[in-house]
A and B are shown apart, each in its own frame.
Chain A
Amino acid sequence: MILTDCSVRAGAGFVIDLRMLYLVVPLVIGILLGYLLRERRKVDLGKVSLGVIIVLIFSLGFGIGSNGELLKSLPEVGLDAVVILVFALGFSVVLVWAARKLVRLE
C-alpha cells in the first residue's frame, strides 16, 4: 500500500499495482526453504513471531495516525460507514459459507 507508484498500466485506463509481487517472493522462498528443510530436522518455529507482528501493527497504526485526511473524515461519515460495513461483512461471510458448501471446501 505504500509503493503506490509501483504500478503498471493495463490498458483502458486500468492500472495494476505491483506491490503484490514483492510480497509473493518472500512467501514463496519461505515455503520452498521450509519444504526442503523439513526432512533434515524437526524444527518447531512455533507460530509466527509475535514481536514482528507487534512491529507491523504498530507501523500500520502509525500510518493511520499520520493520515490527516482519514482522521478528519472519520466523524463526518462514521455512522454511515459502520452500517455499510456491517452489511458488506455480513454478506461476505454468508456467501463464503455458501460457496464452500457448493464446492465442498473443507
Chain B
Amino acid sequence: MIKHIVSALLLGIVAGYLNSNWGSIDAGFWVSDYMFNGALIALLFVMGLVFGLDKESVGKMRKTGLKILVIPLAVASGSIVGGAASALALGLDVVKTMAVTAGYGWYTLAGPLVGQLFGAHWGALGFVVNFLRELLTIVTISLTARIDKYVPIALGGATTMDTTLPVIVRYCGSDSLIAAFSSGFTLSIIAPFTIIAVAALR
C-alpha cells in the first residue's frame, strides 16, 4: 500500500509542477484546495466513525485522558533542542535553526514566517526542513509504524492532525487516532507562537 501512497505523492508533484507551468490556475486551485480539503474532511469523518464504533478505542482514550498531551510537548521540545544540536554540528546560527525546527513540519507556516523574520535563505530552510518532515513521515510509515505507534506521531509533528493522520491511522490502527490528532492539533496551535518566541531569544 505504501507504494500506492508514494506513487500518488509523486504523480501529484509532477502534475502540480506541469500545471503550474503550463496549465490553469483555476485547475490548480481546485485540486490543491477543494479536492484536498474535501478528501481531508471525508477522511476525518470516517476515521472518527471507525473510532467511535470501536469499543476498545474509546475505553483506551478514557484511560489515557490528559496524559496524552505530554506527546506534543515532548515533540516540541525535541524539535527545538534537536534544531539547536544540529546548528552546533553544522556551525549555523543556533537561534535561527531552532526557529526553523519549531515549525514542527508545518511548512506553509514556517517558510513564510521564518523568511519574514530572518530573510529569504532562512525562509527557504524553514520551507524545506518542514516539508521534508512531512514527506519523510509519509514515506517511512511502513517501517516506523512497526517500531511503535508513537514513532510516526513524533516524526509527523504538526502534520499528524491532517496530511499524515490518515496514513498513521491506516498503519497503526484506530486507537492511534486521538493520540495523533491531539498531538498535531496542539503542535499546530503552538507552532506560530514557538517560532516567534524562539526568534525573540536573540
Binding site for B on A (CB under 8 A): 1-2, 4, 13-17, 19-20, 22-24, 26-38, 43, 45-50, 52-71, 73-74, 76-78, 80-100, 102-103, 105-106
Contacts and interface: CB of A to CB of B under 8 A. Distances in A.
A62 to B, nearest CB: 4
Interface in B39-88: 39-55, 58, 64, 67-68, 70-71, 73-75, 77-79, 81-83, 85-87
Decide if the interface of chain A is mainly helix, strand, loop or mixed: helix
B11 interface: yes
B154 A96 contact: yes
A37 to B, nearest CB: 7
A23 B44 contact: yes
Contact of B32 (A45, A62, A70): A62
A31 B48 contact: yes
Contact of B82 (A30, A37, A92, A102): A92
A70 B128 contact: yes
B146 interface: no
Interface in B72-128: 73-75, 77-79, 81-83, 85-87, 89-90, 92, 97, 100-101, 106-109, 111, 121, 124-125, 127-128
Contacts of A100: 70-71, 74, 150
Interface of B: 1, 4-5, 8-20, 28, 31-33, 35-37, 39-55, 58, 64, 67-68, 70-71, 73-75, 77-79, 81-83, 85-87, 89-90, 92, 97, 100-101, 106-109, 111, 121, 124-125, 127-129, 131-133, 136, 138, 150-151, 153-155, 157, 161-163, 166-167, 169-170, 173-174, 181, 185, 188-189, 192-193, 196
Contact of A95 (B4, B16, B74): B74
28 contacts: A1-B109, A15-B192, A20-B185, A30-B46, A33-B48, A38-B52, A48-B46, A50-B170, A53-B39, A55-B39, A57-B5, A61-B11, A61-B12, A62-B35, A65-B12, A65-B14, A65-B15, A70-B107, A71-B17, A73-B124, A76-B124, A81-B129, A91-B78, A92-B75, A92-B154, A96-B78, A96-B151, A99-B71
A19 B43 CA distance: 16
Contacts of B109: 1, 17
Contacts of B78: 88, 91-96
Nearest to B75: A92
Contacts of B170: 47-48, 50, 53
A2 B189 contact: no
Contacts of B111: 69-70
Given A26-B48, A61-B15, A93 B28 contact: no
A96 B74 contact: yes
